[in-house]
């Protein structure tokens, strides 16, 4: 069986610290064949940089997905996508003017894993300002272009707001891919399951980030925005003493490419 470990949105330095602290023990206890992570909020809560990405590569993460904030550090983010195109994927249903690859083919001891990534459309118009094409239409062409017979598993990260869109996307891909994992909301859901045709599904994996926070950002700033309706930029509590750690472990039968087990985890760890 191919065992996959996937971390929820890694948010800023607290999230990076949490993954780096937890991963050695998880490698020993779970013995995953491949370790993946969503890094949409990796660099101080928005975007990716070469420095922060390579921090997790050194820790043992083997493949990365992004999201609506993936390019928020502009040139610094673009550099990360260009330097590690074999490891980090951008959403496949955004304009091709964005750099980076839409698929990663990750070698494991048990065969090649295909990693893909799509953005949802519902409620996302203020989250990503360029056009987002239909993920349902885009994923069909993506599968034609990227899936080959020698691959033992296909994992899709669906970065979306609406739970209904995520559920529909999971059922749309049931039997076509090994796993559909929701990200973006930073709140883990309790619906990990195997869909009828053998696809592992979870509406949202959750977040690796500061525990005493609102979705990984300073709670005082979030409260102020809600109470005063005043716009302000958010900061990550880099001095956090505890972090939420969320991840999912999936087992896939390499011969059928179907999932046979999925287990979601949420815990608070000291940093």
**Domain limits, the chain:** 2-213+239-270
DSSP letter for each residue of 58-114: HHT--EEE--TTTTTTTHHHHHHHHH-TTTEE--TTS-TTS-SBSEEEEEETTEEEE
Q: What is the pTM for the complete model shown?
A: 0.95
Characterise 155 by phi-psi region: left (phi > 0), alpha (psi -120 to 50), beta (else).
beta
Residue written as token pair 């390019």: 71
Of the listed 69, 117, 159, 184, which one is catalytic?
69
Range with lowest mean pLDDT among 13-17, 49-53, 154-158, 228-232: 228-232
Read off the pLDDT of each residue in 154-173 and give the average, rounded to a whole number.
98
pLDDT digit string, tens, across residues 53-100: 999 999 999 999 999 887 877 888 888 888 888 999 999 999 999 899
- Catalytic site includes residue 159: no
Nearest-angstrom CA–CA distance, 85 and 89: 7
Q: What is the pLDDT of residue 230?
A: 80
pLDDT at residue 158 greater than cutoff 80: yes
* Residue in 55, 10, 2 with CA at minimum distance from that of residue 31: 2
Q: Which two tokens stand for residue 252?
A: 């896939």
First to last CA, the chain: 33
CA distance readout (Å), 55 to 39, 77, 157: 12, 15, 21
Residue 204 pLDDT more than 80?
yes
Q: What percent of the chain has pLDDT over 70?
A: 100
pLDDT at position 260 over 80: yes
Helix (H, G, I), strand (E, B) or coil at 3: strand
User: Residue 206: phi, psi to the nearest 5?
Assistant: 110, -150
Rg (CA), the chain: 17
Mode of pairing for the β-strands spanning 193-194 and 200-202: antiparallel
* pLDDT higher than threshold 90 for residue 220: no
pLDDT at 234 over 90: no
CATH of domain 2-213+239-270: 3.60.21.10
Which carries the bigger pLDDT value, residue 26 or residue 74?
26
- What's the rounded mean pLDDT across residues 225-247? 87
């Amino acid at each position: 069986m191919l065992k996959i470990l996937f971390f929820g949105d890694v948010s800023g330095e607290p999230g990076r610290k949490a993954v780096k602290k937890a991963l050695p023990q998880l490698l020993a206890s779970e013995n995953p064949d491949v370790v993946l992570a969503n890094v949409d909020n990796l660099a101080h809560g928005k975007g990716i940089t070469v420095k922060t990405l390579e921090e997790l590569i050194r820790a043992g993460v083997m493949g990365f997905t992004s999201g609506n904030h993936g390019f928020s550090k502009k040139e610094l983010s673009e550099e990360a996508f260009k330097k590690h195109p074999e490891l980090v994927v951008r959403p496949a249903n955004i304009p091709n003017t964005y750099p980076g690859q839409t698929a990663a083919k990750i070698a494991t001891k048990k065969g090649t894993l295909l990693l893909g990534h799509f953005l949802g459309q519902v409620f996302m118009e203020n989250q990503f300002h360029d056009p987002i094409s239909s993920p349902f239409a885009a994923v069909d062409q993506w599968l034609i272009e990227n899936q080959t017979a020698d691959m033992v598993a296909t994992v899709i990260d669906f970065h979306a707001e609406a739970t209904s869109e995520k559920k529909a996307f999971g059922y749309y891909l049931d039997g076509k891919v090994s796993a559909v994992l929701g990200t973006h909301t930073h709140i883990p859901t309790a619906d990990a399951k195997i869909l009828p045709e053998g696809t592992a599904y979870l509406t949202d994996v959750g977040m690796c980030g500061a525990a005493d926070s609102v979705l990984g950002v300073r709670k005082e700033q979030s409260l102020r925005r809600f109470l005063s309706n005043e716009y302000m930029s958010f900061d990550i509590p880099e001095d956090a003493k505890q972090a939420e750690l969320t991840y999912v472990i999936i087992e896939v039968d390499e011969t059928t490419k179907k999932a046979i087990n999925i287990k979601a985890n949420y815990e608070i760890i000291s940093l």
